[in-house]
């Protein structure tokens, strides 16, 4: 898996020069500047990453959303076996590409205090207890939240599945580490996931894949 975390570039070439016609028609539909900029920056970062693996030229690469919202990669107009995940936050964009095609998810968050109501609504009872007794409660809550979002992107459901149906097991917590692995489980189906998290300044980044023990793949 390859990934790229970058501030949203201020000097992206004119979209007409590097977006396909299908991508341009999506780009033109955004009404809000922030959304249009983030969407564009995601495509820019993803194409940069993809062109390390794809030798057919950036103009033959397209990134289009599936009906569920997940980004999919097309080469020469055909769906290609790359798995891509994107996240934007606070002027940054995170892109992750898996050339082996196994679904991946990534997420980018800012460390900030989440309210008690938020913690009660979106975390399992065990996670709530962990957060309340942690000396790094804000960081822990964000790492757990981000890990859940990464898993929900692997599942391609996003928040259509409740975050408290995803149980996260951190192998180390932000009290003792700034990066480590996690395991996750979808309560109900028992489906397992694994991932990796990292704190970088005020940002938390996470990646997830289906299956247990994917540690070495990140």
Ligand X SMILES: CC(C)(COP(=O)(O)OP(=O)(O)OC[C@H]1O[C@@H](n2cnc3c(N)ncnc32)[C@H](O)[C@@H]1OP(=O)(O)O)[C@@H](O)C(=O)NCCC(=O)NCCS
* Positions in the binding site for ligand X (CB under 6 A): 38-39, 42, 65, 68-71, 86-88, 107, 149, 152-153, 156, 158-160
Question: CA-CA distance, 35 to 29, in Å (whole number)?
Answer: 10
Question: CA-CA distance, 196 to 179, in Å (whole number)?
Answer: 7
Element (H, E) at 122: helix 116-122
Smallest distance from ligand X to CB 70, Å: 3
Helices 125-132 and 137-155 cross at an angle (nearest 10°) of 150
Nearer CB in complex with ligand X: 156/165: 156
Smallest distance from ligand X to CB 131, Å: 19
Smallest distance from ligand X to CB 134, Å: 23
Smallest distance from ligand X to CB 80, Å: 16
Question: CA-CA distance, 84 to 47, in Å (whole number)?
Answer: 10
Nearer CB in complex with ligand X: 194/206: 206
CB 70 within 8 A of CB 118: no
Smallest distance from ligand X to CB 38, Å: 6
Smallest distance from ligand X to CB 66, Å: 8
Cβ contacts of 31-40, under 8 Å, gap ≥ 24: 37/8, 38/8, 38/88, 38/93, 40/12, 40/15
Nearer CB in complex with ligand X: 108/170: 108
Nearer CB in complex with ligand X: 135/202: 202
Length of the chain: 218
Nearer CB in complex with ligand X: 85/128: 85
Please, which residues have CB within 8 angstroms of residue 42's CB and are 6 or more apart in sequence? Answer: 63, 71, 86, 88, 93, 95
Nearer CB in complex with ligand X: 115/133: 115
């Amino acid at each position: 898996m390859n990934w790229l975390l970058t501030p949203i570039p201020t000097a992206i070439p004119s979209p007409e020069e590097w977006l396909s016609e299908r991508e341009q028609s999506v780009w033109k539909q955004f009404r809000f500047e922030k959304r249009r900029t983030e969407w564009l920056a995601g495509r820019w970062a993803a194409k940069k990453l993809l062109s390390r693996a794809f030798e057919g030229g950036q103009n033959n690469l397209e990134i289009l959303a599936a009906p569920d919202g997940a980004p999919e990669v097309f080469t020469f107009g055909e769906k290609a076996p790359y798995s891509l995940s994107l996240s934007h936050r606070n002027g940054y964009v995170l892109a992750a590409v898996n050339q082996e095609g196994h679904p991946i998810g990534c997420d980018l968050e800012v460390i900030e205090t989440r309210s008690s109501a938020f913690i009660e609504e979106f975390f399992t009872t065990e996670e709530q207890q962990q957060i309340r007794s942690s000396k790094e409660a804000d960081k822990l809550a964000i790492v757990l939240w981000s890990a859940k979002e990464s898993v929900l992107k692997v599942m391609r459901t996003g928040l259509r599945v409740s975050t408290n149906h995803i149980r996260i097991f951190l192998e180390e917590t932000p009290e003792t580490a700034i990066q480590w692995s996690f395991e996750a489980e979808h309560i109900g189906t028992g489906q397992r996931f694994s991932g990796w998290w990292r704190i970088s300044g005020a940002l938390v980044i996470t990646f997830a894949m289906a299956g247990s023990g994917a540690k070495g793949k990140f």
